[in-house]
């Protein structure tokens, strides 16, 4: 591409050298900036791993399988916060996916266009609200509701049922895994809805119309035409939401309850990797084993979130390739 612009004017050497210099300089500049992005990510990974090295070498592989987090005895393990991260994100997704799917279905199939764009925008605005606001809302609005209504009711109803009683045991503090899951659900619903709406809309209209032409109801079109067609994109959007939920710090820190404990109870306080880092970091002096353990947890969180992003990209790219082929 460069050559075609430069070659015809090679008869005038002085001007050309200067012009070519400008191009080479600019090219080098943008390539270097691009490479610097790679260096930043490389540096983040290096810093996390070397920072956590002390913990990895002190506890060995045991770091990954120990559920103890005890600053007094200087014994740290990753299992409790990893469990909290996965459990709260899983709960969040279980709540968020039906809501997002229902909203996306409503936006694409049921709503009048004018209202659809307004509600669609409102949902997108929800995605822009800073995460600390969700944390405050969760702590001051959701936690009292959980403590006064949801938890006592749940214990009253399921407290004596053999298996379910384990899920609802514990004091009704209002904070805990389920509350964190609810706040995370509210946070990831907008992004999952947006992805779902986009993949639903990207389906060729003729497919949708032929199904309607055969007399299918709106739900049948969604269930048997749109959903099978856009499955990969939908899953990609869900995985993307999961990545966001697992890395979320502020919203979770307010409502998770801060306890390094693993249990079946939905109402038990817990910790995620991100909330543990936010809460314990101020009490971790530089160079301490605790700080190193937090960095090691950071490395684990980074690995988890990169894997989920990678998976979601593959799924979304496949969905897009399919959209390109069919349309």
Query: In the window 217-276, what residues touch another protein (CB under 8 A)?
Result: 217-220, 222-224, 240, 243-244, 246-250, 254, 274
From 22-30, 54-62, 155-163, 197-205, span contacting another protein (CB under 8 A): 22-30
Residue 23 interacting with another protein (CB under 8 A): yes
- For residue 320, the number of C-alpha atoms closer than 13 Å in the C-beta half-sphere is 10
Residue number with CB closer to another protein (164 or 302):
302
Closest approach of Cβ 103 to another protein, in Å?
5
Closest approach of Cβ 17 to another protein, in Å?
12
Token reading at 91: 């709960």
From 133-141, 153-161, 200-208, 226-234, span contacting another protein (CB under 8 A): 133-141
Among residue numbers 77 through 96, which ones bind another protein (CB under 8 A)? none
Closest approach of Cβ 291 to another protein, in Å?
9
From 53-61, 196-204, 262-270, 281-289, span contacting another protein (CB under 8 A): 281-289
**Cβ atoms of 93 and 250 closer than 8 Å:** no
Residue number with CB closer to another protein (155 or 273):
273
Kindly state the number of chain residues that form the binding site for another protein, as judged by CB under 8 A. 97
Residue 214 interacting with another protein (CB under 8 A): yes
Of the residues 57, 60, 130, 326, which one makes contact with another protein according to CB under 8 A:
130
Residue 68 interacting with another protein (CB under 8 A): no
Residue number with CB closer to another protein (124 or 165):
124
Closest approach of Cβ 71 to another protein, in Å?
18
Closest approach of Cβ 50 to another protein, in Å?
9
Closest approach of Cβ 264 to another protein, in Å?
26
Among residue numbers 154 through 213, which ones bind another protein (CB under 8 A)? 186, 189, 193
Closest approach of Cβ 2 to another protein, in Å?
6
Of the residues 59, 63, 76, 101, which one makes contact with another protein according to CB under 8 A:
101
Instruction: Report the Cα–Cα distance between both ends of the chain, in Å, rounded.
Output: 31
Alpha-carbon distance of 267 to 164, in angstroms, equals: 12
Residue 149 interacting with another protein (CB under 8 A): no
Residue 56 interacting with another protein (CB under 8 A): no
Sign of the torsion angle spanned by Cα atoms 291, 292, 297, 302? positive
Sign of the torsion angle spanned by Cα atoms 309, 311, 241, 327? positive
Token reading at 14: 């002085």
Closest approach of Cβ 235 to another protein, in Å?
16
Alpha-carbon distance of 289 to 193, in angstroms, equals: 42
Of the residues 66, 79, 86, 124, which one makes contact with another protein according to CB under 8 A:
124
């Amino acid at each position: 591409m460069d050559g075609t612009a430069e070659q015809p004017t090679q008869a005038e050497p002085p001007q050309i050298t200067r012009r070519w210099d400008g191009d080479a300089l600019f090219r080098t500049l943008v390539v270097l900036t691009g490479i610097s992005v790679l260096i930043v990510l490389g540096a983040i990974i290096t810093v996390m791993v070397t920072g956590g090295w002390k913990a990895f070498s002190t506890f060995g592989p045991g770091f990954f399988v120990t559920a103890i987090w005890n600053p007094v005895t200087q014994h740290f393990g990753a299992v409790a916060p990893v469990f909290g991260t996965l459990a709260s994100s899983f709960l969040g997704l279980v709540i968020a996916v039906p809501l997002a799917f229902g909203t996306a279905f409503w936006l694409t199939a049921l709503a009048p266009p004018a209202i659809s764009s307004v509600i669609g925008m409102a949902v997108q605005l929800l995605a822009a609200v800073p995460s600390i606001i969700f944390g405050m809302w969760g702590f001051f609005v959701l936690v009292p509701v959980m403590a006064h209504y949801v938890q006592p009711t749940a214990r009253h109803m399921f407290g004596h049922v053999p298996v379910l009683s384990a899920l609802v045991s514990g004091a009704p503090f209002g904070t805990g895994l389920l509350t964190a899951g609810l706040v995370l659900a509210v946070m990831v619903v907008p992004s999952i809805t947006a992805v779902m709406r986009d993949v639903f809309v990207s389906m060729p209209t003729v497919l949708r119309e032929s199904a309607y032409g055969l007399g299918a109801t709106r739900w049948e079109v969604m269930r048997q035409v749109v959903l099978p067609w856009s499955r990969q994109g939908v899953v990609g959007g869900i995985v993307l939401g999961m990545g966001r939920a697992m890395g979320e710090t502020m919203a979770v820190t307010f409502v998770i309850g801060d306890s390094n404990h693993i249990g079946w109870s939905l109402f038990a306080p817990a910790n995620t990797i991100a909330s543990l880092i936010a809460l314990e970091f101020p009490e971790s002096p530089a160079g301490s084993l605790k700080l190193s353990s937090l960095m090691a947890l950071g490395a684990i969180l980074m690995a988890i979130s990169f894997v989920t992003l990678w998976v979601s990209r593959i799924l979304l790219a496949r969905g897009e390739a399919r959209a390109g082929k069919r349309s």
